[in-house]
Amino acid sequence: MPPDVANGMVLTLLKNIQPDATQMKVSMVAATPKPRLVKLAITSRGEEPFSVGGSSRKAVHYVVHVEIGGAAGLIAPLLGKQPPDAHVGILGGEAPAFVKSEAPLFFGGPVWRIELASPVWPSKLAGDSKDNPTDSKN
């Protein structure tokens, strides 16, 4: 195996890429019916605005393209076997965080959109019990 195999670490890698990097390539063992070593070409597509709790933020939009390589890589798009590009949003800063992903979760599967959901907590009503935070008098 090459020393840059990124299985199970793609999100960690994305959180640690410099946003101004043009492209990064890492190896990955694809979990296909017959496991195969592929390259992931990761590029930044700039920033996308979003908001959390009324606070505006910007996430770096990364595109992860699977490069199959060899003869299989040439015929994969023709046979409908080329995986779609994954799109991932990462909030930068001192503690980078995952924001969203649009990618298939398994070989041949549909593209799933996964994004963070911000919980909205109800404001404390007058007279609510301090001992039981789940006690609601609605």
Supply 92's token pair.
């930068």
Q: Which of 11-25, 39-53, 111-125 has the lowest mean pLDDT?
A: 111-125
Write down the pTM of the prediction. Answer: 0.77
pLDDT of residue 113: 92
pLDDT digits (tens, 9 = 90+) for 28-44: 998 878 888 999 999 99
pLDDT of residue 44: 92
Supply 2's token pair.
């090459």
Q: Determine the residue type at 28.
A: M
With beta carbons less than 8 A apart as the criterion, state whether 6 and 16 touch.
no
Q: Determine the residue type at 97.
A: A
